[in-house]
């Protein structure tokens, strides 16, 4: 029942936030456009609830076609593909603001497991029950895995925290989500773990290459 109520709350808050932050969104859009060639919004196919795909929106923080260069979907400290404005947006998490529209559309929630990129994740039937369970709720802009380690964590660790979140939010409801928001603000202001480390990129590639039955 809480997830149904939360869906309504998320939609209302995201809709209001889009209106309130519209001047900031416009300023960021202009800055992105002036900083480098390419679209203002970056659209990426992600895997959401029940393994359905959707297009996650972000302010573009890298050069055009970056996913086909260098380390692909993984970025790292000092990555030359990240633009000057993009580096600031990532450090402040302002690049995530367009996902408010994803929440209004019903693709995402404010809090939940982070959705993986299509094509860089095993097929549903290849996953074990722990991995499958994280796809039973809407993906979020933030979540327990993000406030715990963000890009420090390999996928196996993220899945563990995603499932702990599901258990906790079912037990404590809105109070646990409020805790996630508080921890998110602390994390954002600390500007820690914004970019992937080379070591963690290798761990993620290894975890995606194993059999998750």
pLDDT value at residue 183? 93
Q: How many Å apart are CA 155 and CA 194, to the nearest integer?
A: 16
Structure tokens belonging to residue 77: 């400290």
Q: How many Å apart are CA 209 and CA 153, to the nearest integer?
A: 16
61 secondary structure, DSSP code? -
pLDDT value at residue 167? 97
61 with 86: CB under 8 angstroms? yes
Q: Are strands 140-142 and 109-111 parallel, antiparallel or unpaired?
A: parallel
**What angle, rounded to 10 degrees, do the helices at 174-190 and 155-172 form?**
140
Say how many residues make up the chain.
213
Count CB atoms within 10 A of the CB of residue 52.
10
pLDDT value at residue 210? 41
Q: Which contiguous run of DSSP H or E holds residue 129? A: helix 129-133
**pLDDT in single tens digits along all 213 residues of the chain:** 899 999 999 999 999 999 999 999 999 999 999 999 999 999 999 999 999 999 999 999 999 887 777 666 666 667 888 999 999 999 999 999 999 999 999 999 999 999 999 988 899 999 999 999 999 999 999 999 999 987 788 899 999 999 999 999 999 999 999 999 999 988 888 766 555 555 555 555 555 544 433
Query: Which pTM was predicted?
Result: 0.86
CA-based nearest residue to 37, from 99, 83, 94: 83
pLDDT value at residue 149? 83
83 CB contacts (<8 Å, ≥6 apart)?
32, 35, 36, 60, 61, 62, 63
pLDDT value at residue 189? 80
pLDDT value at residue 86? 93
What are the C-alpha distances in Å from 123 to residues 47, 67, 92, 162, 212?
A: 11, 20, 33, 18, 10
């Amino acid at each position: 029942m809480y997830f149904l109520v939360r869906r309504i709350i998320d939609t209302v808050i995201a809709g209001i936030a889009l209106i309130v932050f519209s001047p900031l969104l416009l300023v960021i859009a202009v800055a992105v456009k002036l900083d480098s060639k390419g679209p203002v919004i970056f659209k990426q196919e992600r895997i959401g609830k029940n393994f359905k795909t959707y297009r996650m929106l972000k302010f573009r923080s890298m050069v055009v076609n970056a996913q086909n260069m260098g380390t692909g979907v993984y970025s790292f400290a000092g990555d030359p593909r990240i633009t000057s404005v993009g580096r600031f947006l990532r450090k402040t998490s302002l690049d995530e603001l367009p996902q408010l529209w994803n929440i209004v559309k019903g693709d995402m929630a404010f809090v939940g497991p982070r959705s993986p990129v299509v094509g860089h994740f095993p097929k549903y039937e290849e996953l074990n029950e722990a991995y499958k369970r994280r796809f039973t709720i809407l993906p979020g802009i933030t979540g327990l895995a993000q406030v715990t380690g963000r890009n420090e964590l390999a996928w196996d660790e993220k899945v563990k925290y995603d499932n702990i979140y599901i258990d906790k939010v079912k037990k404590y409801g809105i109070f646990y989500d409020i805790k996630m928001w508080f921890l998110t603000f602390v994390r954002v202001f600390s500007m820690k773990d914004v970019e992937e480390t080379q070591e963690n990129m290798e761990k993620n590639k290894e975890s995606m290459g194993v059999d998750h039955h």
